[in-house]
Amino acid sequence: MSDTIHEAFRRGCREGGFDLVQPFDPRWLDDVDLGGHALGAAPGGLGFFVAHSRALWSPFLAQRTDETHPLDRHCEQVVTRAAAGLGVPARCFFSHHEPHFPIQRVAEAIGFADLSPSHLSLHPEHGPWVGLRAVVIAEHAYAGAAPPPLPHPCEGCDRPCVEALSEAVAKAQPSWRNWLAVRDACPVGRGSRYGAAQLNYHYTKKRRWLIPDD
Ligand code: B12
């Protein structure tokens, strides 16, 4: 049953471009400060962490609607639909909603992504080239293993991201290229860097970049 519920949810997310879905036990968050957000999980609930790599881009372009914030809306639609398909009550927490849900803390606690000194979450394979989008808490038993062991790639790294971050925050108004420099400084997951269109859209939100990557 649990495998089926995992697979159905994962499939729904993957079809929308959210290729990184990790089930977890909400009890792993018992000691995490969620900044006042209440998960409302009954003991024994089932959590899903929803994120994406560069794999998001094509499905998003194909499915997007003509909204002011097309990516946020796309995320809400895909995740809400996948959650409804679980067939049990479920709550969705989106990283773009305010007050902000501390999704990076959750990512670390469930073994999804380590936190770097530049405040970026590093996925073991994709490094900082992931978007963290939603957490879903369902009324269903979690039947998996303990959190996966998380590599700590910043240990033993020269941490070039710290200098890049200092340069960004030293500016009264950092440009998107300053923020991009922080991500580019990280040696982890360089092969997963977003393509030109996805990258430009993520950083500038200019609609002219809503085009396929080569
Ligand atoms: C507000 C915000 C920002 C603010 C940060 C200001 C601040 N003081 O927090 C600004 C505008 C500067 C920013 C910039 C960027 N952000 Co931003 N941001 C957010 C957002 C929406 C909320 C953060 C928050 O308040 N969390 C709640 C608090 C309670 O959590 P927290 O654990 O205490 O704090 C974390 C963050 O706030 C952050 N943080 C805390 N203080 C500071 C100070 C500075 C200078 C920065 C840069 C970050 C930062 O790090 C903490 C973890 O270490 C999150 C999504 C989310 N819900 O988390 C995305 C998020 C953290 N951002 C993200 C990204 C990608 C970026 C940018 C690269 C630009 C972009 N949007 O593409 C840049 C550069 C980031 C960097 N580290 O280099 C991604 C990170 C993905 C990843 N792999 O880690 C997130 C998760 C959004 C997403 N959809 O994936 N961001």
Q: Looking at residue 25, which CATH number applies to its domain?
A: 3.40.109
CA dihedral 93, 199, 203, 205 (to 10 degrees): -80
Question: How many angstroms is it from 115 CA to the middle of ligand 1?
Answer: 11
Nearest CA to ligand 1 atom 4: 119
pLDDT tens track, the chain, 214 positions: 456 888 999 999 999 999 999 999 999 999 999 999 988 766 679 999 999 999 999 999 999 988 889 999 999 999 999 999 999 999 999 999 999 999 999 999 999 999 999 999 999 999 999 999 999 999 998 888 889 899 999 999 999 999 999 999 999 999 999 999 999 999 999 999 999 999 999 999 999 999 999 7
- Residue 155 belongs to some domain of the structure: no
Question: How many angstroms is it from 120 CA to the middle of ligand 1?
Answer: 7
Q: Which domain holds residue 11?
A: 2-144
Q: Is 179 in the pocket of ligand 1 (CB under 6 A)?
A: yes
- Residue 161 belongs to some domain of the structure: no
pTM: 0.97
Angle, CA of 66, 67 and 69, to the nearest 5°: 135
Domain count, the chain: 1
Q: Is 22 in the pocket of ligand 1 (CB under 6 A)?
A: no
- Residue 153 belongs to some domain of the structure: no
State how far the Cα of 122 lies from the Cα of 113, in Å rounded to an integer.
5
